[in-house]
Structures are given as C-alpha cells and as structure tokens.
Amino acid sequence: MAVSPPVCDFGAPWHDFRLPGTDGRDYGLDDVKGPNGTLVMFICNHCPYVQSVIDRIVRDARAMQSAGIGVVAISSNDVAEYPEDGPRHMKAEADRNGFTFPYLYDETQQVARAYGAECTPDFFGYNADGALQYRGRFDSSTRMAGPQDARPELLEAMLQIAETGKGPEKQTASMGCSIKWKRA
C-alpha cells in the first residue's frame, strides 16, 4: 500500500542513533553528518519505489557528498516478515549498487519511530545545524522510474540547504511502501 508522509516540519531536530552498517561498523550521527548538511533516508531492498530510483539515489548521493553533505541510508523493516530486507541482503544491495554512504540496520525500529519515518523511501534533509529543511520526494518517479531528465528535487533541495541553510518552501511529499512495523 502506498503511503505519503507529511511534508517538512521546518526546524525539527535530527535524532542521534548508533546502528550497525553493512560494512560491519557501527555508525552514529557524528560519523555521518556533513559540514554543509545531512541526508537521512529510510529505504529498503524490496520496495519497488526505492528500486525504481536506486541508481539515481546513488548518483545524487555522490553529488551531495562532493558538496559536503553527509548521506546515510537506514532500513527499518521487520525482517521476520520481510527477510529480503535483512542485513545479509542489505550488504548485497549496497555492494550491487555501489553505495558510497553507510547503509544501516534499525532492528528495533526506534530510529525510524524517532524520525517519524513512514515509508520507503522517506527523505530527511538537515542543514549543518541539524534543523530539518527537506522532507519531500526524490523526483517525480513512482513505482516506475520517471524520465531520465526528471527534475532532481532532492538533490536541488540538499544543494540549496548546503549553500543557504534553508530548504525550499514548496515541497512535494515522498511516496512509497509503508515501513513494515513489527507486530506488538
């Protein structure tokens, strides 16, 4: 079922974490934040919305990193119900797609809940002070990749944040598969 999270709550603070990465290291916010901003994205391996743009995510992450923006991806899905989203498969996904950013596993789902993540992909763009400035979509793609020349909304927003400290006032909410929460 497709879910659209709310649009940006400007100025909301980021949330620290300590999570294991696919490379065997643990990462916290201090390890991934950039001097000009930070992108925290919630993704997973099986979601068609993520898969339709994963190559573009990797491409744009490189551009962001070159601009001093830290980038991190987190998977928070219930792996008992969705084993393809587990750590072993996450490592294969990161390797296959050439991730240049840490891909972290949120087993307890506490990080996703702290951020208010609702779907995959869900993007949280912060300025250098850790204030939320973007919570919009990647581009106009949906379950199917949009045109190759689709406006790179996330990249443009993050570069604007890196330069000015503020995100665009007009943002279109992301859309994707709901996070697969564990049963209580």
**184, part of any domain:** no
pLDDT for 1:
60
**95, part of any domain:** yes
Report how many domains make up the chain: 1
Residue 106 belongs to domain with CATH number:
3.40.30.10
**183, part of any domain:** no
**137, part of any domain:** yes
How far is Cα 38 from Cα 161, in angstroms, rounded to an integer?
Answer: 9
Tokens of 83: 């084993």
Q: pTM for this structure? A: 0.96
Helix (H) or strand (E) holding 176: strand 176-178
Q: Domain span at residue 26?
A: 2-178
Could you tell me if 106 and 73 are in contact, meaning their C-beta atoms sit under 8 angstroms apart? no
Of 33, 42, 35, the C-alpha closest to 14 is: 33
**74, part of any domain:** yes
First to last CA, the chain: 20
pLDDT for 6:
78
**71, part of any domain:** yes
pLDDT for 76:
98
In tens digits, the chain (184 residues) has pLDDT values of 677 787 899 999 999 999 999 999 999 999 999 999 999 999 999 999 999 999 999 999 999 999 999 999 999 999 999 999 999 999 999 999 999 999 999 999 999 999 999 999 999 999 999 999 999 999 999 888 888 889 999 999 999 999 999 999 999 999 999 999 998 7
Crossing angle (nearest 10°) for helices 87-97 and 54-66: 70
